[in-house]
Structure 1
Amino acid sequence: MSIDTLNTEVKVQEVMNSPVITLEKYKPTSEAAKLMKSFNVGSVIIVDSEGIPVGILTKSDIIERLVTEAKDPAKVKVEEIMSSPLINVEPSTKIQDAVKALRVKGISRLGVVYKKKLVGILSIRDVIRVTPEIMDILSEKAMIQTGELFSSKSSSILGYCDGCSDWSEDLLEVDGKFYCPDCVVDLYGSEKI
């Protein structure tokens, strides 16, 4: 396994939610709230009559701009309380660049646009959901770079080798599998032992 084969770049397209729930801007806020509840989402993308995104309406927008002011959700159009414009990124954007955009803009969701078409939405919650996996990847890459992953200092394990099926009293764990020293040399080269 070389360091080059360990992909540490997570792209927005791997994390985003799709398809996107949309609603026309002239619809009542009550309809947006029903969509959020039905699809168990925290936002709805607001579109114009041609289906082009013009903003986003979140649960927070409804609470801050409607509920706290005691307005009737059946009478207030979504365009009156939506956040606009919708900030977008491309599916190929690195997740760390998307997180930076969220932080700099002070927002919790980004539209994901491909060839001028909205294809998904990325939220802080989506990023938090994959953070443990990203940390595992980065940790494993660091261990490979420092040689810790293949260190001979690790404790010996008894059992059958996952490579050759022979019994060994000196198995090494590599990528969740256990190999005898001969298989480690065959698979990864002698410098890894």
Structure 2
Amino acid sequence: MKICDLMTKEVITLKPIHTLQEAAKLMCDLNVGVIPIAEEGDKLRGLITDRDIVVRAVAKGVDIKSAKINDYMSPKLVSINPSETAQEAAKLMAEHQIRRLPVVKEGHMVGIVSIGDLSVVGIHENEAGFALSEISTPSQPQL
């Protein structure tokens, strides 16, 4: 199955100049854990996750009402083309230990696909389960 058939096409984005509080509120309103950060309409710059907000800002005492997304987002992007397969998405998610992939065509964001999207389709050899097990492999905490 192709990513274009699985992805969420209506994706709301924020700009790097929005605050972390605006990002958190939007996540709450949409019941999601990630917001794509875009400029010039749909040109993807990065992602902000609920984890980014908590670990990079809240845990350090940052004022999320004034802190800008640009300073806390994940700028390293792994993305997928809408013509790729669900198997390729699962492979990328496992390899990079991520749960969501922006779908990008010719430099423009056209959607997003999550591990949950993969889990509801019949892909070969349970790639979604494999990807999730790879994503969920814990790092060794320094206690």
Q: Is 1:73 aligned to 2:64, yes or no?
A: yes
Q: Is 1:83 aligned to 2:65, yes or no?
A: no
How is 1:30-179 mapped onto 2 (pairs within 5 angstroms)?
A: 30-48=21-39, 50-51=40-41, 52-128=43-119, 130-131=120-121, 133-134=122-123
Q: Is 1:27 aligned to 2:18, yes or no?
A: yes
The share of aligned pairs that are identical, in percent, is 38
Q: TM-score, normalised by structure 2?
A: 0.78
Question: Is contact 2:103–2:111 with CA below 8 Å preserved after alignment?
Answer: yes
How far 1:94 sits from its partner (Å)? 0.8
CA distance in structure 2 between the aligned counterparts of 1:63 and 1:26, rounded to whole angstroms:
18
CA distance in structure 1 between the aligned counterparts of 2:36 and 2:60, rounded to whole angstroms:
23
CA distance in structure 1 between the aligned counterparts of 2:57 and 2:116, rounded to whole angstroms:
24
CA distance in structure 2 between the aligned counterparts of 1:134 and 1:97, rounded to whole angstroms:
11
Q: Highest relative contact order (Cα 8 Å, sep 6+), 1 or 2?
A: 2
CA distance in structure 1 between the aligned counterparts of 2:99 and 2:71, rounded to whole angstroms:
20
CA distance in structure 2 between the aligned counterparts of 1:67 and 1:126, rounded to whole angstroms:
29
Taking only aligned residues, the RMSD between alpha carbons, in angstroms, comes to 1.8
**Greater fraction of residues in strand:** 1
**Cα 1:102–1:134 shift into 2, 3 Å:** closer
Equivalent residue of 2:14, what SS? Answer: strand
How far 1:85 sits from its partner (Å)? 2.7
Q: Deviations over 1:90-121 (max 9, x none)?
A: 11111111111111122221111124321111
Equivalent residue of 1:89, what SS? Answer: coil
The unaligned stretches of length 5 or more in structure 2 are 125-143
Q: TM-score, normalised by structure 1?
A: 0.59
CA distance in structure 2 between the aligned counterparts of 1:134 and 1:96, rounded to whole angstroms:
7
- Which one has a bigger Cα radius of gyration? 1
The unaligned stretches of length 5 or more in structure 1 are 1-9, 136-193
CA distance in structure 2 between the aligned counterparts of 1:40 and 1:21, rounded to whole angstroms:
12
How far 1:88 sits from its partner (Å)? 1.4
